[in-house]
């Protein structure tokens, strides 16, 4: 049963989808809720409302401006913000390693990043994981179901992109501000590579601890996530985790 906090964010997501569909009109093929609010693991005050909008023909300038205003002013309930990607059916209807994005709007209420707007991104390789999750666990708030508009995403493409970030983070193991994100996301990449299962960060961490209890950095991050930061994440522990996940993901391919 959904919690009160989840229902508050879900109500906000549905209202946002209604406004988006009104702005796009008949061109709105599908508005898909994905991420933790759709698949489970939503954390009030920390998780975003993740939305993928599939729009025929893209967006006119006036529609982009209207959508930007809507996202900026939206009541997001207990969510921490909004992560909205607008794509065309052609962009997601055929598998591609880097996906063209008509519009991205990111509203990050609890982050220094603040508010982002990017238009006509030629190729976004990081959208692959979102598309895979949206197709698997997404929920259509408007229009066609996810599997009707999103083509299957090859598992090895998602894993390859995950390995790109694991390698990048290997040189950023001393980044205390983003340590928890890197640890938990590494666990998600690991489980997906081994079992082809998308899951929440908390579920991925539990899985990783069970698979290799020696990786104490995962347990440390989980405890900090539950109780609040108590100490700096151990840099060597981060390196050990990333090396393990790089090895395991290479073996799983």
Domain at 118, CATH number = 3.30.460
71 and 174 belong to one structural domain: no
Q: How far apart are CA 228 and CA 20, in angstroms?
A: 36
Q: In total, how many domains does the chain have?
A: 2
pLDDT given at position 231: 65
Chain centroid offset of residue 121 CA:
17
- 128-166 pLDDT tens trace: 999 999 999 999 999 999 999 999 999 999 999 999 999
47 and 61 belong to one structural domain: yes
Q: Which of 149, 172, 192 is the last residue of a domain?
A: 149
- 9-23 pLDDT tens trace: 999 999 999 999 999
136 and 42 belong to one structural domain: yes
61 and 97 belong to one structural domain: yes
79 and 123 belong to one structural domain: yes
Q: Which of 98, 130, 149 is the last residue of a domain?
A: 149
Q: How far apart are CA 47 and CA 35, in angstroms?
A: 9
Please check the confidence at residue 2 and state whether its pLDDT lies above 60. Answer: no
126 and 43 belong to one structural domain: yes
Lowest model confidence (mean pLDDT) among 20-34, 85-99, 103-117, 237-251? 103-117
Q: How confident is the model at residue 191 (pLDDT cuts 50, 70, 90)?
A: very high
15 and 114 belong to one structural domain: yes
Q: How far apart are CA 1 and CA 231, in angstroms?
A: 34
133 and 186 belong to one structural domain: no
pLDDT given at position 229: 56
Please check the confidence at residue 253 and state whether its pLDDT lies above 80. Answer: no
Q: Which of 99, 134, 149 is the last residue of a domain?
A: 149
Please check the confidence at residue 103 and state whether its pLDDT lies above 90. Answer: yes
- The mean pLDDT of 206-221, rounded to a whole number, is 94
26 and 9 belong to one structural domain: yes
| Domain of 200, in residue numbers | 155-252
pLDDT given at position 3: 58
Q: How confident is the model at residue 127 (pLDDT cuts 50, 70, 90)?
A: very high
pLDDT given at position 1: 39
pLDDT given at position 113: 82
113 and 185 belong to one structural domain: no
Q: Three-state secondary structure along the chain?
A: CCCHHHHHHHHHHHHHHHHHHHHHHHHEEEEEEECHHHHCCCCCCCCCEEEEEEECCCCCHHHHHHHHHHHHHCCCCCCCEEEEEEECHHHHHCCCCCEEEEEEEEEECCCCCEEEEEEEEEEECCHHHHHHHHHHHCEEEEECCHHHHCCCCCHHHHHHHHHHHHHHHHCCCCCCCCHHHHHHHHHHHHHHHHHCCCCCHHHHHHHHHHHCCCCHHHHHHHHHHHHCCCCCCCHHHHHHHHHHHHHHHHHHC
pTM score, two decimals? 0.91
55 and 107 belong to one structural domain: yes
166 and 133 belong to one structural domain: no
pLDDT given at position 4: 54
């Amino acid at each position: 049963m959904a919690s009160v906090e989840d229902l508050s964010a879900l109500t906000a997501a549905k209202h946002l989808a209604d406004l988006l569909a009104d702005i796009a009109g008949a061109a709105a093929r599908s508005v898909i809720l994905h991420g933790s609010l759709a698949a489970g693991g939503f954390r009030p005050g920390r998780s975003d409302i993740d939305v993928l909008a599939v729009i025929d023909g893209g967006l006119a300038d006036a529609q982009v401006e209207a959508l930007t205003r809507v996202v900026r002013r939206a009541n997001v309930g207990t969510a921490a913000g909004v992560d909205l990607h607008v794509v065309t059916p052609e962009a997601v209807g055929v598998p591609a390693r880097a996906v063209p994005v008509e519009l991205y709007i990111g509203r990050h209420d609890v982050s220094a990043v603040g508010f982002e707007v990017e238009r006509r991104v030629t190729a976004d390789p990081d959208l692959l994981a979102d598309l895979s999750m949206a197709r698997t666990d997404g929920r259509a708030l408007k229009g066609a179901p996810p599997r009707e508009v999103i083509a299957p995403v090859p598992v090895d493409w998602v894993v390859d992109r995950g390995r790109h970030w694991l390698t990048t983070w290997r040189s950023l193991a001393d980044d205390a501000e983003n340590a928890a994100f890197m640890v938990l996301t590494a666990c998600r990449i690991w489980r997906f590579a081994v079992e082809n299962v998308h899951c929440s960060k908390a579920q991925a961490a539990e899985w990783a601890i069970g698979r290799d209890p020696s990786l104490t950095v995962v347990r440390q991050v989980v405890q900090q996530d539950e109780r609040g930061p108590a100490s700096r994440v151990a840099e060597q522990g981060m390196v050990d985790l990333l090396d393990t996940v790089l090895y395991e993901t290479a073996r799983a391919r």
